[in-house]
Amino acid sequence: MPKLSRRESLHALAVAGLCSSAGLHWPTPALAQAASPSDLKDEDIFQFALNLEYMEAEYYLRATTGKGIDAADLGSDPGSVKGGRKVSFQDKAIGEFADELAENELAHVRFYRKTLGSQAVDRPAIDFEAGFAAVAKAAGLPDFDPFANDMNFLLGGMLFEDVGVTGYAGAAPLLQKKEFVEAAAAILAVEAYHMGMARSQLYQMGDKAQKAANAVSVARDKLDGPADKDQGIERNGKANFVPATPDGMVFRRTPQEVLRIVYLTDKAGVDSGGFYPKGMNGTLKST
C-alpha cells in the first residue's frame, strides 16, 4: 500500500473514528482510497486554530467588556457574532481571571494573524446563543446562560478551554516547521493554565457546579467519537482538575473531532453548525 499523506491519514481516521487518546492509528486500505490526495500545510492548521481563537476571544471580551474584538483584528470581511454580554462578576478573583483570559485570547488572535499574514482567515460567523442553547440541552442544563453569573461563565469557558487543549495536543504532531511547533506548544500551555483554573474554581463552587461541569464533559464526549477523551471535574468523589490518560498525558483530538464538538454534531462530513452557523474559514472545516 502506498504511503499516505498527513491529510489522507487525518481524514480517514476522522471518518472511521479510529483515534485513541494515545495517538493516531493507521487507516485501512479502503479508507485510504477515500481520503483527500493533498497534503496538510502548517498554515492550514494555524488557520484552524485562528478560527477557534476568534471564538474564545469573542466570548471572554464580551463577558468582560461588553463588546468583542476590534475591527482591526477581524479581517476584511468578518462574519457576525450573535449573543454575549458583560457579566456582573460577584467574585473579584474570577473577574480578574476573566480579564486575563480575554487578554490572552486576543493576543492569540493577533499572533496568528501576524504569523499567517495574507493567509490569515477572517473571523467566521459565530452564534453563542444557538451554540450554548444546544450544549445546555445536550447536558441537561435548562435555561443555561453563560453570561448570567460567575459559575455559568466558567462553565462556558470550560467548554472551550478543555477542547482547545486537546485540539492543540492533537494538531502539534502534524506541524512541520520548528517555529510553528514551538508556538503551538506555548499556546497549548497557556490554554492548559486557563483550563486548570476554571476547573478548580468550578469544583470549589460545590455540588451544583460539579454536576453541571461533568454533564458538559459527558455531552462533549458523546459528540467527538467513540473514544473516551473527556473527564469531568469530579471523579469517584474526588476532584479531577487535570483530565489525563492513564499515562498522565493530555488527551488528543483531531481537528475533525474538535469540529464535531463546536458544530455540535456526531456525524462525518458536516461543515457548519453549532457555534459556527456558516462553518469555519480555511481548509479544515468539515467533520
Query: Can you give the residue ranges of every domain in the chain?
Result: 1-39, 40-263
| pLDDT band per the 50, 70, 90 thresholds, residue 16 | very low
Can you tell me the distance from the alpha carbon of 164 to that of 188, in angstroms, rounded to the nearest whole number? 8
Q: What is the mean pLDDT of residues 226-245?
A: 92
Closest C-alpha to 276, from 268, 266, 286: 286
46-55, pLDDT tens digit by residue? 999 999 999 9
Can you tell me the distance from the alpha carbon of 130 to that of 102, in angstroms, rounded to the nearest whole number? 22
- Give residue 24's pLDDT: 34
- Give residue 3's pLDDT: 40
Q: What is the mean pLDDT of residues 137-143?
A: 90
Can you tell me the distance from the alpha carbon of 69 to that of 250, in angstroms, rounded to the nearest whole number? 30
Place of cell 490518560: 245
Can you tell me the distance from the alpha carbon of 277 to that of 286, in angstroms, rounded to the nearest whole number? 13
> Which residues fall within 8 angstroms of residue 56, CB to CB, at 6 or more apart?
105, 108, 160, 161, 164
20-34, pLDDT tens digit by residue? 333 333 233 333 333
Higher per-residue pLDDT: 173 or 54: 54
Q: Taking 80 as the threshold, does the pLDDT of residue 183 lie above it?
A: yes
- Give residue 201's pLDDT: 96
- Give residue 143's pLDDT: 86
Q: Residues of 197-210 as b/e, b for ≥16 C-beta within 10 angstroms?
A: bbbebbbebeeebb
Can you tell me the distance from the alpha carbon of 138 to that of 141, in angstroms, rounded to the nearest whole number? 8
- Give residue 6's pLDDT: 42
SS3 at position 27: coil
Taking the chain, what is the end-to-end CA distance rounded to the nearest angstrom?
25
Q: What is the mean pLDDT of residues 139-143?
A: 90
Q: What is the mean pLDDT of residues 151-155?
A: 97
For the chain, what percent of residues have pLDDT higher than 90? 79
pTM tops 0.75? yes
Q: Taking 90 as the threshold, does the pLDDT of residue 77 lie above it?
A: yes
H and E: helices and strands count for the chain: 9, 4
The distance of Cα 270 from the centroid of its chain, to the nearest Å, equals: 17
**What is the H or E stretch that residue 195 is in?**
helix 178-204
